Amino acid sequence: MERNKISELRTLIGRLLIVAVIVVVGYLIYQRFFADNSGSDYAIEDTPLHVEEIRKIVELNTIKFRDEVVVDSLELYKTTAEQIQGNLEKLIDPEQAKHGISSSNVKRRLTMVVKGELLYGIDLKRKDFTVIPKDGKLVISLPNPELLSINLTPKNTDVFVENGTWKDYERQLLMRKARTKMIATGEKLRLTEKAKAPLERLLKQLIRSQVPIVIEYY
């Protein structure tokens, strides 16, 4: 009876040990291959900020355009043999194993979601403006509105899919593509034209003149 109990206890301890080993090995495999260890707890060292240039500018911004674009770069395997070999190679690489396991025909893919802010208005530093009283009116001559700032930052950039190995210049190419798309959308929406009305309102608010104000663009 006593011997039986000891034997059962040993079996139980043995089984518990096996379960513990399975859990530890499972956790290790998860951490090595599947866990998202991509920088959630990174801490950068404190380095000084260098001021490289200080410029006086005079830019009157009247339209803020916020855009969000998706840019993508995709390479497919050309043959089935290449696909099998490529996916096997991905399976061996711990960083790429999750892409190899689905065995898709995608060799490499980088998809980014980029949010940007474009400011439209007039640059009064590069181009002069004149105020001339004429025939009982105040004639203000201004340069045509233009795109003054394109603000892209890492905070507003998301790497949505990264399959395969990508170089910095390839990411930069995608960022340039995002920038070009935003500028194109701004042009399509004729934002330089749309910047005129708020500009005129703003100037009238600033001038507070009793005489009529006429605004001309050159």
Partner 1 sequence: MKHTVTYLLLALAVTLNSCGTDDTPVSHKEIFEIRTIGTLSTSEYTVGKIIKLNDVGEWYHWGDRKILISCKAKIKAGVNLNKLKADDIKVTGKKIEIQLPAAEIISFEMNPDQIKTEMVDVSGFRGGFSQAEKNKILRLGEKSIREDMKQLDILTDAETNAIVFLTDFYKNLGFEEIIIHGTKQDKRTKNTDR
Between 7 and 165, whose beta carbon lies closer to partner 1?
165
Site string for partner 1, 99-118 (x = CB under 8 A): -x-xxxxx--xxx-----x-
Site string for partner 1, 6-25 (x = CB under 8 A): --------------------
State the distance between the two ends of the chain, measured CA to CA, in whole angstroms.
106
Q: Choose, by CB under 8 A, the member of 9, 14, 17, 68 that binds partner 1.
A: 68
Q: Which of residues 134-153 bind partner 1 (CB under 8 A)?
A: 138, 148-153
Between 8 and 89, whose beta carbon lies closer to partner 1?
89
Measured distance CA(44)–CA(18) in Å, rounded: 41
- Nearest alpha-carbon partner for 186 in 63, 20, 99, 9: 63
Measured distance CA(178)–CA(67) in Å, rounded: 10
Provide the b/e sequence for 40-57 (b: ≥16 CB within 10 Å).
eeeeeeeeeeeeeeeeee
Site string for partner 1, 23-62 (x = CB under 8 A): -----x--xx----xxxx-xxxxxxxxxxxxxxxxxxxxx
Encoded tokens for 157: 């950039």
Give the side-chain half-sphere CA count within 13 A for 126.
10
Q: Does 1 bind partner 1 (CB under 8 A)?
A: no
Between 8 and 193, whose beta carbon lies closer to partner 1?
193
Looking at residue 93, the DSSP 8-state letter turns out to be S
Q: Does 180 bind partner 1 (CB under 8 A)?
A: no
| Span from 6-14, 15-23, 158-166 in contact with partner 1 (CB under 8 A) | 158-166
